[in-house]
Amino acid sequence: MKARVHISYKTGVLDPQGKAIGLTLANLGFAGVGDVRQGKLIELELAETNADKARVSVEAMCEKLLANTVIENYAIELDNE
Amino acid sequence: MKASVIVFPGSNCDRDIQVALANSMGGPVDMVWHGETEMAKTDLIVLPGGFSYGDYLRCGAMSARSPVMREVVARAEQGVAVLGICNGFQILLEAGLLPGALLLNAGRNFVCRDVNIRVENSQTPFTNGYEQGQVLRIPVAHHDGQYFADPDTLVELRAADRIAFRYCGVGGDEDGAAGPRDNPNGSIDDIAGIFNDRKTVLGLMPHPERAADPVHGGTDGRGLLASLVSALA
């Protein structure tokens, strides 16, 4: 099973890279773009075939290493092909 | 007094702090590889500056989970003094020994220059050699030094005198906030360094070991090391 972990900054955390991307988009003439936030995508190949167990395991990975929950949120997407 | 410097793959200020500490202590300093699971008895543990693990995932994230850190956390809980400088500060935050996080500099640039910092609490093992409110000139060199903490944590840090140093102007700005050029990274409340609640753990972005010898161009950092020697010897 594949897992995708989307990591994004929490509201209120300044994201200077997102700001720079927003400014550059405006310079390129893209109007109407508001706040821009840059995150991370981590893809994991898991041996686990049970989706519930996989989710529990990936949540533990997020809490222990993949995300810093002081500043980041995470969302887990499981892909059972 | 015995001191140990932890060496991670990608640390690059480990020798600088080793030399500066040895000069202040008048004796040798142990170097401990990050893969070690045991450490000799020590009174001070230093996590040095650098780019441990190439700053992968987040600065300090990998190092905070390396084998030796279990021992560092255990010693810190026993009250052994722990000093984290720059990348070492990032590692202390990732390891949960200090609260908050360090984000990319607000100006997005790597900042490498001298800054002024004000001593906010001189009643600790790390700062007893300084005067309260003394302004120090010490270099910073980092890309991810913007201190961030949620409002509750900030209230707690202020109330318990856990803010060690604040960025400031040459004169110390006693009456107000630092100017935009004085705060090199956009840190919240101009915070340059913080203590744990017992004042036995200090993390800071500026590099005292780079201002510890006249040939460095300044010696304001030596007081921090001298404070530790007088407190722990």
Closest listed residue to residue A17, CA positions, set A41, A40, A42, A36: A36
For chain B, the structural domain boundaries read 3-232
Residues of A in contact with B100 (CB under 8 A): 70
B61 Cβ under 8 Å from any chain A Cβ: yes
Q: What is the ipTM of this complex?
A: 0.85
Q: CA-to-CA distance for B148 and A67, rounded, in angstroms?
A: 16
Residue length, chain A?
Answer: 81
Range of the domain at A74: 2-79
**pLDDT tens digits, one per residue of A6-63:** 999 999 898 999 999 999 999 999 999 999 999 999 999 999 999 999 999 999 999 9
A66 Cβ under 8 Å from any chain B Cβ: yes
Residues in CB range of A71: below 8 A, 6 or more apart: A9, A10, A13, B101, B103, B148
Hey, what CATH class is B3-232 in?
Answer: alpha beta
Phi and psi angles of residue B63, each rounded to the nearest 5 degrees, phi first: -60, -40
Q: How many domains does chain A have?
A: 1
Residues of B in contact with A71 (CB under 8 A): 101, 103, 148
Q: CA-to-CA distance for B198 and B160, rounded, in angstroms?
A: 10
Query: What is the value of pTM for the model shown?
Result: 0.94
Phi and psi angles of residue B29, each rounded to the nearest 5 degrees, phi first: -120, 130
Cβ within 8 Å of B, A 15-54: 15-17, 20
Check which CATH number belongs to the domain holding A14 and give it.
3.30.1280.10
Walk along chain B (233 residues) and give the pLDDT tens digit of each residue.
999 999 999 999 999 999 999 999 999 999 999 999 999 999 999 999 999 999 999 999 999 999 999 999 999 999 999 999 999 999 999 999 999 999 999 999 999 999 999 999 999 999 999 999 999 999 999 999 999 999 999 999 999 999 999 999 988 876 667 877 899 999 999 999 999 999 999 999 999 999 999 999 999 999 999 999 999 98
